[in-house]
Chain A
Amino acid sequence: MQDRPSGRPLRASFLIPLVAFLVLAGFATAALMATLRGERDVSQLPSTMIGKAVPDVVLPRLDAEAGDVGPAQFAGAPLLVNVFASWCAPCRAEAPALAILEEDIRILGIAYKDKPADTRAFLQQYGNPFVAIGVDRDGAGGMALGVYGVPETFLLDADGTILLRHAGPIDRRVLEDILLPRIQELQ
């Protein structure tokens, strides 16, 4: 006799947590699989800058006599803005990627919190893919761009709107799957 009154509701009260658990587990598995497949990168923070106009950053050029430089000066054609530093190891790793990108798009370098002498030595060693280099000695330019670590790379369209932002070195996957297709789209 006890089967009827207490048996059935018991099953329902089992089911609710079970369903809730399965829903949560489903989300977690989807996120985990996306991470494993490389579609979701937990180290990439969401950026609010995408779709906005690039901030009006103006910095002294590395070549001091040539005056100031900023992304605004390159309006009219797409531009890649690369924030780098000689003290940053991943920046060395992305040097080959920048050399490839240099063929397709102009790259503005921002030397973030770096001594100009060290920046020059770095360029000597790893090549200079930049059309111009702004010296961001105190990091104010990087802060305006929302940079939280070097290297970071921003893709701007001809109007100076930020289309894409990549934090961390440009590796082969980022280069071939993300940056080059977007750049070709622009041209």
Chain B
Amino acid sequence: MPLSIATRPMRRWALLICLGLAAAVTGAATPANALTREEMLADPVLEQRARGLSQGLRCLVCQNQSIDDSDAELARDLRTEVRRRLTAGQSDADILDAIRDTYGDYVLLNPPIAPSTWILWAAPAIILAGGALLVFAARRRDDIPDKDSPLPARETPARSPKHVSLKSSVAGRQAVALFSLVVGCSLLIYLALGRADLPDRPLAERTAEIAALKDTAQQDNADRVARFDAARAAVEAEPERVSNWLDLAVAAADAGRSETEVTALRQAMVLTDDDPTIVSMLAEALSRAADGQITIPARALVEQALAANPAEPRALFLYGLAAYQDGDYAAAIDNWQQLQRVSSADAPWMPLLADNIADAAAAGGIEVPVSPGPDAADIAAASEMSTEDRDAMIAGMVDGLAARLEDNPEDGPGWQRLARAYDVLGRTEAAQDALVSAADALIADADAQLAALQAIVAGNAEDRLVDDADRLLARLVEMAPARPETLYLRGHFAATNGDVEAARAFWQQLLDRLPEDAPIAGQLRAAIEAL
């Protein structure tokens, strides 16, 4: 009994502490704000009211910050709107009402007391009161057996009433202690970590380790700034050098100064007369400044770069990305595959590219379309397959490309890829035909004519493709009459046609231009002899 009485004040004390702590959880929010100097009003009284209003308005984009606190564009607009209305002489209540009319109760950080929020506001009090009731009820029950039901001695003959009283009051005390502990710990944690008005905690304050990291970062930053300043000085000294502007662009990108980067690249673009590589670098810089989005001006630049050089890797990548962002996943894959084909197999962007293609395929729900020609990665993959699978894969790719080229015979590089693919498959005649088609598509490209003619000669297909060979040779002679290859081929085809004199004349001409010790000179002499 005495024990039980003695604990009562202690329980009350514990409860009072809890209630007091709950009441202490208030405080004006004084966080770092996002307000900029230009936004501020000249009149300090109005500005003070504007700050007060802003702190009570929610930024709807970053939803747990006030507009005073948020850097979001909408928050800035709302701050401006608050100040505009203040300057127009509206009262605080008018302004809050007007904003609430368009954005709803949700824009107020403190929910208004209304029927729909009664439960919200009452909840803490109800829960606390409920908890207190439970505790008191538990304590009461502890006391009841002590006072009203003296223990039947026969059941616990060994224990005195005092013992029981001690035991039950221990149970009650445990309940109170547990309740206080839970509430107290919650409050302590909340006060220490969760309060809305806690100031920001810069990284450096947390641990020395992070402070050290920060020092390194600052050093890096200083280095970057120094490089940037050096690059700018170089540009000022020699503004006509393109490489200076490119260095400045790189340094600016590194230092996070995207505007300078864009300006520098524009300058480089002007100096190089719209070099497609630099045009695509500018497009990339613009996109990076727009959080990776291919904006309309960036897209125009990409198109300009591709018009000048359809194989410009950066432009191809960005063009694919633009298509990806448009949701045109097939076009994105197409562009990126084209980039795969023009890149060497060990280009640093190849793994990223493969990932991107897989992403686009997944997003568009498309199977990665048949690659229009086997690139290095395909061949590497194919070499790990069984022979059967490999043949099927290659045949599939080749048929896809062939069908596409039938529809679009103007695609010279496509025909050349097809020829290489046929070559891989050992379909020599088909390869020769494809090269002839490539030469016909690339009518002004001497190398294309030459490649087709060499394939015809190497495959002994002079008779089968006699008309084609004539046509291609005529073009080659017109475009590159003095090339050693031209001379050799003219001699070769003259010989095939039985015109020994002409053949000898061409080869002799070629022989005269070759150094004495050239390895093929001997072969050529032997050929002339054989005529």
Q: Residues of A with Cβ closer than 8 Å to B?
A: 1-2, 5-6, 9, 13, 16, 45-49, 55, 86-87, 89, 92-93, 113, 118, 121-122, 125-126, 139, 143-146, 148-149
A6 close to B300 (CB less than 8 A): no
Q: CB distance A125 to B295 under 8 Å?
A: no
**Cβ-defined contact, A148 with B290, below 8 A:** no
**Do A9 and B74 touch (CB < 8 A)?**
no
Query: B151 near A1 (CB under 8 angstroms)?
Result: yes
A118 near B296: Cβ-Cβ < 8 Å = yes
A13 touches B137 (CB 8 A): yes
Task: List, in ascending order, chain B residues with CB within 8 A of A9's CB.
Answer: 137-138, 141
Bound complex: CA A12 to CA B142 (Å): 15
Contact flags (1/0) for B413-440 with A, using CB distance below 8 Å?
0000000000000000000000000000
A86 to B299, CA, bound (A): 12
Are B103 and A148 within 8 A (Cβ)?
A: yes
Inter-chain CA distance A117–B243, complex, in Å, is 32
Given A16-B134, A118-B296, A6-B141 contact (CB < 8 Å)? yes
Interface: B509 (CB within 8 A): no
Interchain CB contact under 8 A, B101 and A48? yes
Q: Using C-beta atoms within 8 Å of the partner chain, give the interface range for chain B.
A: 35 or more
Residues of chain A with a CB closer than 8 A to B77's CB: 139, 143
* Cα–Cα, bound, A149→B297 (Å): 22
A121 CA to B322 CA, complexed, in Å:
14
How distant is the Cα of A148 from the Cα of B81 in the complex, in angstroms? 14
CA distance A145 to B74 in the complex (A): 13
Q: Are A45 and B60 in contact (CB under 8 A)?
A: yes
**Out of A5, A16, A45, which one reaches B144, CB within 8 Å?**
A5
A134 to B476, CA, bound (A): 59
* Chain A residue contacts of B137, Cβ below 8 A: 9, 13
A-chain residues with CB within 8 Å of residue B295 when the two chains form the complex: 86-87, 118
* Number of residue pairs A-B, CB distance < 8 angstroms: 77
Assess the B297–A146 pair: CB atoms within 8 A. no
Chain B residues positioned under 8 Å from A13 (CB to CB): 134, 137-138
Tell me the complex Cα distance, A135–B106, Å: 28
Report A-chain residues with C-beta under 8 Å of the C-beta of B326: 92-93, 126
**How far does the Cβ of A34 sit from chain B's closest Cβ, in whole Å?**
19
7 A-B contact pairs sorted by A residue (CB < 8 Å): A1-B155, A16-B130, A48-B104, A86-B295, A89-B293, A146-B104, A148-B61
Residue B149 at the chain A interface, CB threshold 8 Å: yes
Minimum C-beta distance from B114 to chain A (A): 13
Q: Is the CB of B296 within 8 A of A86?
A: yes
Instruction: Knowing A5-B149, A13-B138, say if A87 contacts B61 (CB, 8 Å).
Output: no
Given the interface pairs A5-B149, A89-B293, the reply to whether A146 lies near B103 with Cβ below 8 Å is yes
User: B154's closest neighbor in chain A, by CB?
Assistant: A1
* Inter-subunit contact B102/A144 (CB<8 Å): yes
What is the CB-to-nearest-CB distance from A28 to chain B, in angstroms, rounded to a whole number? 15
A residues in contact with B149, CB < 8 Å: 5
The answer, yes or no, to whether B156 is at the interface (CB within 8 Å) is: yes
Measured CA separation A159–B297 after assembly (Å)? 40
Verify B296–A121 contact, CB threshold 8 A.
yes
Please list the 9 inter-chain residue pairs (A to B) with the smallest Cβ-Cβ separation, ordered nearest first.
A146-B102, A48-B104, A148-B60, A121-B296, A1-B155, A5-B145, A118-B296, A9-B141, A86-B296
* B-chain residues with CB within 8 Å of residue A139 when the two chains form the complex: 77
List 12 extra interface pairs beyond A5-B149, A9-B137, A16-B130, CB under 8 A. Answer: A1-B155, A48-B101, A48-B102, A48-B103, A55-B102, A87-B295, A92-B327, A93-B326, A121-B296, A143-B78, A143-B81, A145-B102
Within 8 A of A (CB), among B161-175: 164, 168, 171
CA distance A45 to B151 in the complex (A): 63
Is the pair A46, B104 in contact by a Cβ cutoff of 8 Å? yes
A121 to B105 alpha-carbon distance, docked (Å): 38
**A148 CB, nearest partner CB in chain B, Å:** 4
Interface contact B325-A92, CB-CB below 8 Å: yes
